């Protein structure tokens, strides 16, 4: 019981430190250039913890990942922001031109937005877990999202529940707003990755 409580407090303190690192390094890159590499670094640290490597020094592991993945992570960020700008422009255009013909474009656009958003849930965990090429990472994130609907629902429920709790207790957002939600996503995805890898190993050659 005492040992379990100790492990729990260690995890909580580590998550708080990780969240502060994520916030700090995001601001270090003026958010625009810091957010995506800091997020990638956070997921890499969380993956290490889930693999049982929880004795790694947090700061040096985070800093190493942030520095190594800075340009590649910002490349993904550029694509994500670009898609966001295109979607927003289309939504504004459709709101101004609210003719019946425009209604035909609503369904495909909203469908596209949903698939992009769900793929983003898997993008950073796939990035942290696999050593893949730039566009192959996006493709793998999309494919895993498509074949793991239950895990996707679990992630969404966990994220919504976390956001609701943090709205009632705002202080939690400062210490765990990013790291705890990222842990929910990474833990769920890591379970999916292991399931997929076990199925691949069990296939006859």
Please list the rounded mean pLDDT of every run of 10 residues in the chain (205 residues). 80 95 90 93 96 90 96 96 93 76 79 95 96 94 94 95 94 94 96 88 72
Predicted local distance difference test score (pLDDT) of residue 165:
95
Predicted local distance difference test score (pLDDT) of residue 205:
60
Q: Which two tokens stand for residue 87?
A: 């979607």
Q: Which two tokens stand for residue 181?
A: 């939600």
Q: What is the DSSP letter of 51?
A: T
Predicted local distance difference test score (pLDDT) of residue 99:
66
Predicted local distance difference test score (pLDDT) of residue 56:
87
Predicted local distance difference test score (pLDDT) of residue 201:
80
Predicted local distance difference test score (pLDDT) of residue 63:
96
Is this structure's pTM higher than 0.85? yes
As a whole number of Å, the end-to-end CA separation of the chain is 46
Can you list the alpha helix ranges (DSSP code H) found in the chain?
Answer: 2-28, 35-50, 58-68, 70-96, 100-129, 134-147, 149-168, 170-176, 179-202
């Amino acid at each position: 019981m005492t040992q379990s409580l100790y492990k729990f407090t260690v995890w909580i303190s580590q998550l708080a430190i990780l969240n502060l690192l994520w916030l700090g390094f995001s601001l270090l890159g003026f958010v625009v250039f810091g957010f995506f590499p800091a997020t990638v670094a956070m997921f890499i640290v969380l993956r290490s913890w889930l693999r049982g490597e929880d004795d790694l020094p947090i700061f040096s592991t985070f800093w190493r990942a942030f520095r190594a993945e800075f340009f590649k992570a910002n490349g993904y960020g550029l694509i994500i922001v670009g898609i966001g700008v295109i979607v927003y422009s289309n939504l504004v255009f459709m709101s101004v031109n609210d003719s019946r013909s425009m209604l035909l474009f609503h369904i495909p656009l909203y469908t596209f937005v949903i698939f992009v958003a769900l793929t983003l849930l898997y993008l950073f965990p796939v990035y942290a877990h696999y050593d893949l090429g730039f566009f192959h990472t996006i493709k793998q994130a999309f494919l895993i999202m498509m074949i793991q609907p239950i895990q996707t629902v679990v992630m969404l429920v966990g994220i919504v529940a976390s956001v609701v709790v943090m709205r009632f207790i705002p202080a939690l957002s400062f210490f765990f707003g990013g790291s705890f939600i990222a842990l929910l996503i990474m833990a769920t995805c890591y379970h999916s990755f292991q399931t997929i890898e076990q199925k691949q190993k069990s296939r006859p050659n």
